[in-house]
Amino acid sequence: MTTADLNVALPFIIVAAWACILLVIDLFIPADRKGLTALLAVAGMGFASIPVLLRFEESNRAFNGMIVQDGFSSFLQLLLLGVGVISVALAYDYLQRRKIVKGEYYTLLLFSVSGMVLMAQAGDLIIVFLALELLSVPLYVLSGFAAKSNPESEEAAMKYFLLGAFASGFIVYGIALVYGATGTTEIEAIHNVLISGVSNLGLLTVGAVLILVGLGFKVAVVPFHMWTPDVYDGAPSSVTALMSVGAKAGGFAALLRLFLAGFPEIAANLAPILVGVAALTLIWGNIAAIAQQNIKRMMAYSSISHAGYIFMMLPAIVDSDIAPDAISAALFYLFVYAVSNLGAWGVILALERADGGGLSIDDYAGLGERNPGLALAMALFMLSLIGVPPTAGFIGKFFLFRVVLDANMIGLALVGVITSLISAYYYLRVVVVMYMRSGDPQVRSERWLNATLWLTALGTFLLGIFPGPLLNLASRTGLFGLVP
């Protein structure tokens, strides 16, 4: 180990060390001053983004290839740190309203973000596993954060924990089989062994499928999505916001890197299954969302369907000509989805009442009259999630579909477009209820929440009109480092 090694892993080290220190500092912060803990958590993530920005375009390997740094990891790390900061801003007022203010919330959040940041840099299956656990375990606890006053939160935590641990079991066994077939756990070395000929291809394929199943649970694709609506519904909304973006981005980081840099040949063999999973996820996520009356459950199914859109990139990376485009489209879409989705969750948080009410879609009636700004923001987020121009979601989906068409998967593209049309029904229903029906929604207005809403709304709008710089960044990062 050298200082150069530590230097490459610096973003993760900063977040993790900061989380440890904050755990102790928080013990000495009085209960009515927990805002300070939140501020310190944000500062930690801010520090961690400095080395990411300074070395954005570099490609490095550290710890004998266990930790890698490339454009892919830098892009995702920046996104994940941003998501972490926004979730702190979303949580600050929400925790006070629900009377669950505890410094541990921010510490756990920081630990979870450190896991996500590590996942973006994972160059070895051991690190993939450790990062995944570091990402999930704090989220299990956070889901149960409101357990004292709300039994549903406890139940959500239990379900999330049992299914998450179940998924980890699959991943560990998959890693064991991959190790047995190739004799290594380093992702690039696996590929080298694969090119020079593996004696036991069957073992490797089974291992890859088991890892796929485990990560499929984590990113919630059909048929491994059963836990999503219950957990998203029961967990405190501020945690759900983090879960729906951060945990998914972390899971996809591992999936994309593994299937592109590790075993693209296996992915080619599995292409029909991958296409099937993507199509099923799109269809089931969008159709089940229609029936939901509770906005948190609707957003849960919506998050499943968006996982499906990103999952379409997995069968596409098989073709090495299309792979760079597929990676950059996935990265861009993750970014756009994060911005719009966090914004939508911000509006949900603003309308949720202290007793946990205000979560039915009917509670949004009259928002257009009472609070035009908030209603406009919500309409913008909904349009972006459908993918209507000129919002950011449209650009994101456009590039995803173009990659799918380039890869000659016309059937899958058709399913994607049709399900996007179906999704318009349930997203627009929220908009219709807001503007066409009268009611008296209680809206919470708070500094940090409003700032977040402004930021995400502006982001959704501007990325729709000027997608160039971000798209350029995503496509440049897709081109170096990851693609062999």
Partner 1 sequence: MPEDFLPIAVLIILATGLSFTILLLGQIFGPRRPNPRKGSPYESGMRPYGKGQRRVPIHYYLIAVLFILFDVEIIFILPWAVVLRDLGIFGLIEMGLFVAILLIGFVYAWKKGALEWD
Partner 2 sequence: MTIPTNYFLALSGVLFILGVLGVLIRRNSIVILMSIELMLNSANLAFIAFARAFEAHTGQVLVFFVIAVGAAEVAIGLSMIVSIYRSRGNIDIDQISQLKG
Residues lying near partner 2 in the complex (CB under 8 A) are found at 126, 129-130, 133, 137, 140-141, 144, 147, 151-152, 154-159, 161-162, 165-166, 168-170, 172-173, 175-177, 179-180, 183-185, 226, 229-230, 233-234
Judge contact between 225 and 288, C-beta under 8 A: no
Binder among 4, 20, 162, 226 for partner 1 (CB under 8 A): 20
Please report how close the Cβ of residue 20 comes to partner 1 at its closest, in angstroms.
5
Binder among 3, 24, 33, 321 for partner 1 (CB under 8 A): 24
Closest CA to 282 of 298, 303, 305: 305
Please report how close the Cβ of residue 162 comes to partner 2 at its closest, in angstroms.
6
> Torsion angle of alpha carbons 293, 138, 73, 226, nearest 10°?
-40
Closest CA to 104 of 10, 20, 165: 20
Please report how close the Cβ of residue 372 comes to partner 2 at its closest, in angstroms.
34
Please report how close the Cβ of residue 24 comes to partner 1 at its closest, in angstroms.
6
Binder among 5, 23, 184, 406 for partner 1 (CB under 8 A): 23
What is 325-361 written as a DSSP string?
HHHHHHHHHHHHHHHHHHHHHHHHHHH--TTS---BG
The residue among 180 and 389 lying less far from partner 2, judged by its C-beta, is 180
Please report how close the Cβ of residue 376 comes to partner 2 at its closest, in angstroms.
32
Please report how close the Cβ of residue 250 comes to partner 2 at its closest, in angstroms.
16
The β-bridge partners of 360 are 294
User: Among partner 2, partner 1, none, what does residue 24 contact (CB within 5–8 Å per kind)?
Assistant: partner 1
- Binders of partner 1 among 296-355, rule CB under 8 A? none
User: Among partner 1, partner 2, none, what does residue 126 contact (CB within 5–8 Å per kind)?
Assistant: partner 2
Residue with tokens 């502006």: 458
Stretch that binds partner 1, among 17-25, 31-39, 302-310, 345-353 (CB under 8 A): 17-25
**Which residue type sits at 333?**
Y
Q: Which two tokens stand for residue 217?
A: 């649970």
User: Among partner 2, partner 1, none, what does residue 20 contact (CB within 5–8 Å per kind)?
Assistant: partner 1
User: Among partner 2, partner 1, none, what does residue 83 contact (CB within 5–8 Å per kind)?
Assistant: none
Closest CA to 395 of 307, 467, 291: 467
Please report how close the Cβ of residue 215 comes to partner 2 at its closest, in angstroms.
16
Please report how close the Cβ of residue 7 comes to partner 2 at its closest, in angstroms.
23
The residue among 108 and 314 lying less far from partner 2, judged by its C-beta, is 108
Closest CA to 111 of 19, 201, 43, 197: 19
User: Among partner 1, partner 2, none, what does residue 357 contact (CB within 5–8 Å per kind)?
Assistant: none
The β-bridge partners of 60 are 69
CA distance 396 to 179: 36
Region label for 481, one of left (φ > 0), alpha (ψ between -120 and 50) or beta (otherwise): left
The residue among 137 and 323 lying less far from partner 2, judged by its C-beta, is 137
Task: Tell me if 31 contacts partner 1 by CB under 8 A.
Answer: no
DSSP 3-state assignment of 60?
strand
The residue among 166 and 480 lying less far from partner 2, judged by its C-beta, is 166
User: Among partner 1, partner 2, none, what does residue 27 contact (CB within 5–8 Å per kind)?
Assistant: partner 1
Residue with tokens 């969302």: 289
* Main-chain phi, psi angles of 186, to 5 degrees: -80, 135
Q: Number of residues in contact with partner 1, rule: CB under 8 A?
A: 6
CA–CA distances in Å: residue 85 to residues 144, 224, 246, 372: 21, 29, 11, 26
Stretch that binds partner 1, among 21-29, 73-81, 162-170, 180-188 (CB under 8 A): 21-29
Q: ∠ at Cα 351 (350, 356), nearest 5°?
A: 110
Judge contact between 48 and 22, C-beta under 8 A: no
Please report how close the Cβ of residue 115 comes to partner 1 at its closest, in angstroms.
15
CA–CA distances in Å: residue 328 to residues 103, 155, 241, 340, 386: 37, 38, 24, 18, 20
Please report how close the Cβ of residue 18 comes to partner 2 at its closest, in angstroms.
20
The residue among 159 and 248 lying less far from partner 2, judged by its C-beta, is 159
Please report how close the Cβ of residue 357 comes to partner 2 at its closest, in angstroms.
16
The residue among 108 and 388 lying less far from partner 2, judged by its C-beta, is 108
CA distance 9 to 68: 8
The residue among 113 and 157 lying less far from partner 2, judged by its C-beta, is 157
Other Cβ atoms less than 10 A from the Cβ of 357: the count is 11
Q: Which two tokens stand for residue 163?
A: 């299914």
Handedness of CA 190, 308, 331, 240 (dihedral sign): negative
- Which residues sit at the interface with partner 1, rule CB under 8 A? 1, 20-21, 23-24, 27
